Structure 1
């Protein structure tokens, strides 16, 4: 767990500047064969859990495209951006704020071509501030002097939109909280809250039902006291310089709504993929501007 003094205009840039990513050691393949696609996934939970959740989708993509799809889970949110920038990845499933960062960082550019559409029975995608039910905290006015856990400086729901919601409500996180902790993942933030290490945790609203259904947190143990506006869907992106034939294969694999794709997405919280455009993420750029968090790297 990382604890930092919060300086909004430098958090993301500082993280990138200090990031020393050894790609092979982190598990990124150096295989550059023409039949291989290397897919980056963000570590919104334990890497083993991420790989297990998306293994059926990876298998589906390999079958649908005829290419060998290799998944990679970044050590942190910016590791996927760096791996894509260095040419060790061909495509990535980003969170919205990561995409905005990648669009500025990756040499040659990245192109969003699909967006992950949530299943009808899932909750809207927001940044949710949760507390222990017995904490006596009922909203941002009660956050004064408390310790908060965000997940990662580049996380959309675990940081950026949480900061955005507070700023839009008239609160300055620099003076609101006594300490800001970066836990590394949504589940780590929840555990920090349950263990009493922090008073407030900002996590993805999509994670809360998972935590309760899995028994990690009891229904009566936690409560949501503040939420951000709805966040745009996760973009699926590929490098702009990826060969056109591979782009077409991937576009069809993601956007053709087939029974095989539906089956591959079971258990992920997503039902299918829609079209994505860069302008869909202008609200994320606005969030960066309002909070003073700078996406330029």
Structure 2
């Protein structure tokens, strides 16, 4: 397991304590509108349908207007946060890492799978009638395969398969397959179902939504590879929000589906998002993702014969030093 999490009772207590801590505190400048970024895992219309009830509850409980911010790709939400046009956002771990490093973001809570899983899994999908049955079938680089890769800022659609499928097997997709195209999870799954690509990346949460929203397409899909467990998606806010707004947001997320008179209704809204009530979190949940990224960079450098040997060895040593630091941080 990638990380350790607090129990539900502790989280509920944290939410309540956070709320009480701000009762009577000095009033800070409040946002008139809170912009909530939603990464592009599928069509905006599908996302809007499942997110609207949650955002409506947030608007009611925070006492301010909450506006959904959609972008055509993950980078758009990251850049939105960088330029203060996104205040809070749902990210995957890879895109959250970019938001923390480049856009002044901070992880404050974590999603939980609707079944209670502490994470989810990256997948490779093929058509049910495809000759592709297992990972080895896509690594031979024989034939004219079309591959549907994920958004470059997607954890499960890009980073995890890049490391576990390709880097560890010394395969470069661009050199191995006839075509490689990048798209969101929904688009990739439908491309496989319609035989527009031979196989594509996806994840277990997205596949569950496809099963519910497009059962015909789901029937045409099969899983040919599943990754190790990935930490559940983080929710990130801007570090330059007021302390009061941050506390209100944390109290809302940790209390949602746990505290108050509408718990069952809120659980149903979360279930439509494929989630259970949120857990407390921090930037520490990104350590394993940073390790994946660094491992991938290291493997790439080791195979780069065009770079000067001394420069390559220096960069590899720098990566190993960072990996050692992350190992210490992850174990404490």
Q: TM-score range by the shorter chain?
A: 0.7 to 0.9
- 8 Å CA contact 1:124, 1:206 repeated in 2: no
TM-score, length basis structure 2: 0.73
How far does residue 171 in structure 1 lie from its aligned partner after superposition? 4.0
> Which one of 61, 66, 70 corresponds to residue 67 of structure 2?
70
Matched, 1:280 2:285: yes
Q: Which gives a bigger RCO, structure 1 or 2 (Cα 8 Å, sep 6+)?
A: 1
- SS across alignment from 2:89: strand
Matched, 1:178 2:178: yes
With 89-98 and 119-128 compared, the bigger mean Cα shift is at 119-128
Q: List, as ranges, runs of 4+ consecutive aligned residues in structure 1 with deviation greater than 6 Å.
A: none
Which residues of structure 1 form unaligned runs of 5+? 1-31
How far does residue 127 in structure 1 lie from its aligned partner after superposition? 1.1
Alignment of 1:129-278 (within 5 A): 129-143=124-138, 144-145=141-142, 146-167=145-166, 169-174=168-173, 175-183=175-183, 185-213=184-212, 214-219=214-219, 221-256=220-255, 257-258=258-259, 259=263, 261-278=266-283
- SS across alignment from 2:123: strand
Superimposed CA distance per residue, residues 224-272 of structure 1 (whole angstroms, 9 cap, x where no aligned partner): 1111111111111111010111111111100112315324323111011
Task: Report the counterpart of residue 330 of structure 2 in structure 1.
Answer: none
CA distance in 2, matches of 1:210, 1:118: 12
Superimposed CA distance per residue, residues 19-75 of structure 1 (whole angstroms, 9 cap, x where no aligned partner): xxxxxxxxxxxxx97332111010100011111111111011111111211111112
CA distance in 2, matches of 1:141, 1:224: 13
CA distance in 1, matches of 2:148, 2:186: 11
- 8 Å CA contact 1:97, 1:156 repeated in 2: yes
- 8 Å CA contact 2:119, 2:231 repeated in 1: no
Superimposed CA distance per residue, residues 71-92 of structure 1 (whole angstroms, 9 cap, x where no aligned partner): 1111211100001101111111
Task: Report the counterpart of residue 100 of structure 1 in structure 2.
Answer: 97
Superimposed CA distance per residue, residues 107-157 of structure 1 (whole angstroms, 9 cap, x where no aligned partner): xx2111110111117795111001112211122221124221013111111
Superimposed CA distance per residue, residues 196-226 of structure 1 (whole angstroms, 9 cap, x where no aligned partner): 221111111212233233324243x221111
Task: Report the counterpart of residue 38 of structure 2 in structure 1.
Answer: 41
How far does residue 191 in structure 1 lie from its aligned partner after superposition? 1.8
The two structures, once aligned, show a CA RMSD in angstroms of 2.2
- SS across alignment from 1:217: helix
CA distance in 1, matches of 2:111, 2:211: 23
Structure (1/2) with the larger helix percentage = 2
TM-score, length basis structure 1: 0.81
Aligned length: 259
CA distance in 2, matches of 1:251, 1:123: 19
Alignment of 1:7-18 (within 5 A): none
Task: Report the counterpart of residue 111 of structure 1 in structure 2.
Answer: 106
Which one has the largest radius of gyration?
Answer: 2
Task: Report the counterpart of residue 11 of structure 1 in structure 2.
Answer: none
Change (3 A) 1:278 1:153: same
Task: Report the counterpart of residue 58 of structure 2 in structure 1.
Answer: 61
- 8 Å CA contact 2:93, 2:233 repeated in 1: yes
Change (3 A) 1:71 1:55: same
- 8 Å CA contact 2:114, 2:271 repeated in 1: no
- SS across alignment from 2:66: strand
Task: Report the counterpart of residue 80 of structure 1 in structure 2.
Answer: 77
